Every structure is written in structure tokens, then in C-alpha cells.
Amino acid sequence: MERWCPVTEWVNLLVGLAMGLNLLALGSSRLPSVIRAMAVQGVVLGLIPVLMEGRFEWLVALMAAVTVLLKGFLIPGLLRRAMRAANIDREIEPLVGYVPSLLLGAGGTIVAVAVTYRLPLLPEHSHTLLVPGSLATIFTGFILLICRVKAISQVCGYLILENGIYLFGLLLVRSTPFLVESGILLDLAVGVFVIGIIVDRIQRAFDSLDTRKLTVLRE
Amino acid sequence: MKELLLIFLPLAGSIVALSWPSERTRPQLLPAVSLVHSVLAIWLLLDPPVVAPGAWLGFDPLARAILPAVSILFFVCSAYAVPYLRTRPERPNRVFVSVLLAMLGLMSAAHQARHLGLLWIATEALTFAAVPLIHFSGTSRAFEATWKYLLIGGTGIALSLLGSFCLGYASVKGGGSGDLTFAALMAQGRALSGPWVLIAWVLLLVGYGTKMGLAPMHTWKPDVYGEAPGIVGAILAGCVTTVAFTALLRVRAVVDAAGYGATAGRTLLVIGLFSMFVAALFLLGTRDFKRMLAYSSVEHMGILVIGAALGRVGVWAALFHVWNNGFIKGTLFLSAGNIRRAAGARTIDEVSGMSAITPRSAAIFVTAMLAATACPPFGPFFSELLIVRTAFATGHGASAGIFLVCLLFAFFGMTRLVFAIVDGRPRAAARLGGRRFGETAGVILPPLALLGLSLWLGLATPAVLRDSWAAAAEQIFPVL
């Protein structure tokens, strides 16, 4: 049944790299390194569909190029600009410290691998790291969303969460129409642009990107 | 063809609005486009087209049962938007008008989406399109609300995408060819991979439930409805939430076909009752009448999913309630907007005696509040009564009991707050505001029309609507 396949090896290597970048994002206190981890992860994920296809296809290459451009360059660039405008480069007081969140992320990765063994997968997917990689990345995204207080870190968390979902979507890339995939990609991009604009407005309205200041509205 | 016009006409209108030169005449585009939309939607309601089985988009029974309500509510709100935007000359309305029209097109697309991926794309675009409407006032409170909306709504949307992928994988794992239309998924039935269907159901329920505002994913709702202009609240609460409800119904039909209908029903019942309970608690405590409307919306979303949990008759009642809730929420938000503008504040600590300042809006607000708390002879009474009766008939007596207790507490909470702002001695600030923002016909007639529609639905539900709900219920639970 199991056939050694160089393509799978490459995909696994890249997914493994993405999982490592998760931990890097969780462990670093400086915002530029979180953004960089997220950007590199975006590039890595963009390359995977090309490798999975095995042969060259225009549509796949186009989608990969758009993904790499968006997740690797455009969105991180937007966030860097917002970061400079707000004059912050450090997450000073996260709700959960760096070492605990790193441990949490590592624990989550192990759980993700363990859970994957119990899920019914198609034979061609059971030897790839796609599912555990996706689950671990989603979990990392949630940790960043919940445990950080700067708006930019939370946006990074949201993007990493989306990266994880993108990884999961690759399981379906061969069986679903391409239109859907590209529509989803376009939508995500629009979403992030909207978020970027709002981050900018919050910075102007509150003179800070500390979301703990956003507490006027409560019961 | 008409069904595609429902989508592309408002989208084209949105582009026209972007390039329209005059600030003063631009808002007129809203009623113009949405009137045509309503005529088309009612035409399609009366004369439903044939939908090709494999079509990705189509005016199928479920779309027919809900989309006309959305369209009518949107039209009335857009008639209100013209005088409303005239009271806010300091804010440019280019983006506001354009986004509202785009949302109408996206809602029409989402209601007619018969494909899992397409449905998600439309819902997602709708979520992000609403953002400029929420911070239209430009206050820092509005930006805070927008940020919460983006983070919570974005996460919900992300989870529903993951859920859609899981449902797709359930199909592929079960030997499907990758056709993700709901019809194909239902046809696959028990061949779908069970564990993946259950995972997908949980994720989609949380994801689209966030969009609907079911507890405990409702936390963005009070902030957004509190800070957004009344007309935006009316459209979010009456129109946009129905998109997520349709999505849940469509997914529920697939889960049912896969043989997990009982599980889906139980989870819907629990989350619905919990939403009603949480809403009732907060309604008893809140002091802000616009946030009150948000909790009332959470309560009514709970009622909708409880209906969806109770089989075919329950779905029928829930679809009836979609119409009632839409019209009553529209009335409440529009009249609350009038009161808030005149009063210049929103909490019972700062507002009182509005029956003297804005007598007509106050009267409409009180009547609509009574209608929302299920007083006959308005529509909500009848749909909620049917849900309670169905709950008893299907052996969910305890749930029906909790349902009624929650309704009672919601009634206490809402009457307490509404009469506190309507009765008493008017404040000085409100006297000034009342002179500045007079009760013109333009801001009184739209909520009054919605109230009248709700009364009409309650007293004489048209047979064509009854048929459309029955057909939609049959689409969700096909007769074998």
C-alpha cells in the first residue's frame, strides 16, 4: 500500500517547516519576527499546491503565484506599515507569556498528530502531514488571537488561523472545482485588507493599537 | 434570468453609486434599485422558476421562502435611508450607499447559493462588506465595535470555511466526485463519511451561528447594533442574519440525509434555548435601548433555530418567524433610530419622556416592542405559538417550558426599559434634539409600514407564503 513518493516527501517537508514557523511566531516577542514568520509561512503554503500537482498547470501556478504574493508580501507589508505608523515593535504584556504559549503550541502540535491517527482519511492523505499541520496551525492562530493584546498580533493570529484552514483545503484541491478555490482566496484577501484599514483607523482614533483600550462597550 | 437579476442588478447599482457625482441625489439610488429588486422577488415568489437540479445558483423553495422578506425589508429601510442621510450631511454617503446595494446583491446570491463553496464566498463577502456601515458614525466607540465585529465575525467565518472543507472531505471520503452542491451531497446520503459530517456540523454551526448571533457567539452583536445607525441595525438584524439561517438549514438537510438528523436537532435545540436564556438575562439587565434590540435579536435567533430543530412543522414555523422577526426588527430599529437622534443618548439614565418629544416614534416603538414579545395579533405571536405547540407535540415539553419562561423574562426586561425611556419628564437636551430632528413623514412611514406588514402577516397570512414555507420545509426534510 505505502509507496515511497518523492512528492509526498517534499510536501511533508514544507508542512513541517510551516509547523516550525508556528512555534517561532508563538515564541517571539517582537512584532517584526511574528510578521516574518507569518509571511514565510504564507510563501511555503503557496508553494505546496504546485508540488502536489506533480506536473505543471497554468491555473495552479497562477493560484500559487497569487497566494505567495498576497500572503508572503502584500499583507505582511501592510501590517509592517501599520506597525511603523503606530510606532510599536514589541508585544509588551501578552495575556499569556511567551514560554507558556510556546509550550501550549508544542502540546497542540502533538495532540494534532495524535488526533489525526484517529480520523478516517483517504489512503493518499494518511501519509502526509497536511492534516496535523493544518490542525496545529489553526490552534496556533487561536492562541495568538486570544493571548495577545496588540491589534497587529491578533491580525497575525487570524492570518495564521487562515493559513491552517488553507492547508486543510489542500486535501480537496484535486476534487473540487478551481473556481471555488480562487473565490475563497480572493475573499480572504479582501477580508485582510478590510482588517488592515480598520487597524489603521483604530490607531488614529485611539492613538494606540492596544486592544485592551477597546473596553468602552460592555454591559 | 430574473433570479440572476436579483444578484447583479444591486451589484451594478453599487458600482453606479460609487461613481455618482452628487451627494444629495445619490441616496435616491437605494429605493430605486431595491424597489425593482422587490418587484422581481415578489414576481418570483408568485411564479417560481424551475431550478435545474445541478445548478449552483437558483431560486429554489428555500430562497423563495425567505428572499422576498429580505427584499421587502430592504426596500422599506432604503426608503428610510433617504431622509436619514439628509440628517447626516456631514458624513459622505458614497461608501454607505454603494455598500448597502452591494450587500443586497450578496444577500440575494447567498440565499440562492446551492453550492457549499459559493454559499461561503457570498456570506464572507457580505460580512466584510458590512464593515464600513458599522463605523459610519466615525466615533471611537464605533471603531471599537467594528474591531470586535471583525475579530469575532472573521473567526466565525474562518470556522465555517473549515466546516465546509470538512463536509467536502466527508463527500470525497465517501466516494463522491467532488460535486459540492447541496443536492449532490444530500443524494450521497449515508455514503458520506460519518465522523467528518459530525465535525463539519459542529464547525458550521459555530461558524454560521456566529454570523447569526447565537449565544455564546453573540458577543459582537450588542456592540455593533448599539453603535451602528438604526437603519444598519435593521438590515443586519432582519436581512443579514437570515443568510446564516438559510446556510444552517441547507447544511442541516445534508446532515439529516447522512443519518445524523437527531444529533443535529438536539444541538440546535440546546443552542437555541441557551441563546434565549442568555438574551433574557441580559434583557433584564441592560440600560441601553439599542443594545436591548441586539439582545432581542439574539433571542429571536434562538427561536429560529429551535424551530429548525423540530422537524418539518418546526421549520415551517421558523420560516414564518423569519418574516415576522424581519419586519418587527425593522420597525424597532428604525423607530429607535428616530428616538435616539432626538434624545442624543441611548441609556435609561439619560433618556426619558420621549413620548412627549417624539410621540409617533415612541408609539410605534412601544407597539413593536409588544409585538416582538409575542403579543397578539401581530405575526410573531402566531409563529412562536406554532413553535411551542410543535415542541409539545414532538415530546419536547421541557424545552417548551424553558422557551416560555425565557419569553416571559424577555417581556419583563423589554417593557421595563422601553417604558422608562418613553414615560416621564423629557430632558432638556432631548427638547433641543426633538426640534432639530422633527418627525417627518419620511422617517415615520417606513417603520409604520413594517408594523402594518407584521400585523397583516399575523391576521391574514397569504396562502402563497404558506405554500412557499411548506415547499421549503419539504426541501429540508424531503418526503421519502
Which of A184, A188, A205 lies nearest to residue B140, judging by beta carbons?
A: A205
Give the pLDDT confidence score for residue B17 in this predicted structure. 95
Alpha-carbon separation of residue B154 from A85, A114, A186, B180 (angstroms): 24, 28, 15, 23
User: pLDDT confidence of A2, banded at 50, 70, 90?
Assistant: very low
pLDDT digits (tens, 9 = 90+) for B120-171: 999 999 998 999 999 888 888 888 888 889 889 989 988 999 999 999 999 9
Which of B147, B148, B158 lies nearest to residue A162, judging by beta carbons?
A: B158
Grid cell digits, residue B300: 429571536
Average pLDDT over chain A, rounded to whole? 82
Average pLDDT over chain B, rounded to whole? 93
A158 contacts in chain B (CB < 8 Å) = 151, 154-155, 158
- Distance between CA atoms of B134 and B91, rounded to whole angstroms? 13
Domain count of the fold of chain A = 1
Q: What percent of chain A has pLDDT over 90?
A: 24
Which of B150, B196, B226 lies nearest to residue A198, judging by beta carbons?
A: B150
Say if residue B21 is preceded by a cis peptide, omega within 30 of 0: no
Give the pLDDT confidence score for residue A1 in this predicted structure. 39
Instruction: Mutate one of B57, B126, B139, B150 to test the A interface: name it (highest A CB count within 10 A).
Output: B150
Q: What angle do CA B260, B264, B270 make, to 5 degrees?
A: 150
Give the pLDDT confidence score for residue A186 in this predicted structure. 64
- Chain A nearest-CA residue for B140: A205
Supply the range of the domain harboring residue B429: 2-476
Which of A161, A172, A187 lies nearest to residue B169, judging by beta carbons?
A: A172
Nearest to B477 by CA among B268, B261, B305: B261
Give the pLDDT confidence score for residue A11 in this predicted structure. 87
Residue A52 resides in a domain? yes
**Helix A98-118 vs helix A130-147: crossing angle, to nearest 10:** 150
| DSSP-derived 3-state class of residue B269 | helix
Chain B segment 246-285 residues within 8 A of A by beta carbon are 282, 285
Nearest to A105 by CA among A71, A142, A155: A142
Alpha-carbon separation of residue B257 from B167, B254, B262, B378, B477 (angstroms): 13, 5, 11, 35, 9
Alpha-carbon separation of residue B24 from B27, B78, B446 (angstroms): 7, 15, 20
- Read off the pLDDT of each residue in B45-64 and give the average, rounded to a whole number: 92
B124 reaches A (C-beta below 8 A): yes
- Chain B nearest-CA residue for A173: B178
pLDDT at A95 over 90: no
- Read off the pLDDT of each residue in B352-368 and give the average, rounded to a whole number: 92
B162 contacts in chain A (CB < 8 Å) = 138, 165, 168
CB-CB under 8 Å, B135 with A201: yes
CA distance A184 to chain B (A): 6
Residue A13 resides in a domain? yes
The DSSP letter of residue B427 is P
- Chain B nearest-CA residue for A191: B128
pLDDT at A59 over 80: no
Burial B177-195 (b: 16+ CB within 10 A, else e): eebbbbbbbbebeeebbee
pLDDT at A179 over 60: no
- Read off the pLDDT of each residue in B178-193 and give the average, rounded to a whole number: 91
Domain count of the fold of chain B = 1
pLDDT digits (tens, 9 = 90+) for B384-424: 999 999 999 999 999 999 999 999 999 999 999 999 999 98
CB-CB under 8 Å, B158 with A161: yes
**Helix B2-19 vs helix B29-46: crossing angle, to nearest 10:** 180
Q: What angle do CA B273, B279, B281 make, to 5 degrees?
A: 105
Supply the range of the domain harboring residue A11: 6-170+178-213
CA distance B94 to chain A (A): 17
Instruction: Mutate one of A128, A187, A202 to test the B interface: name it (highest B CB count within 10 A).
Output: A187
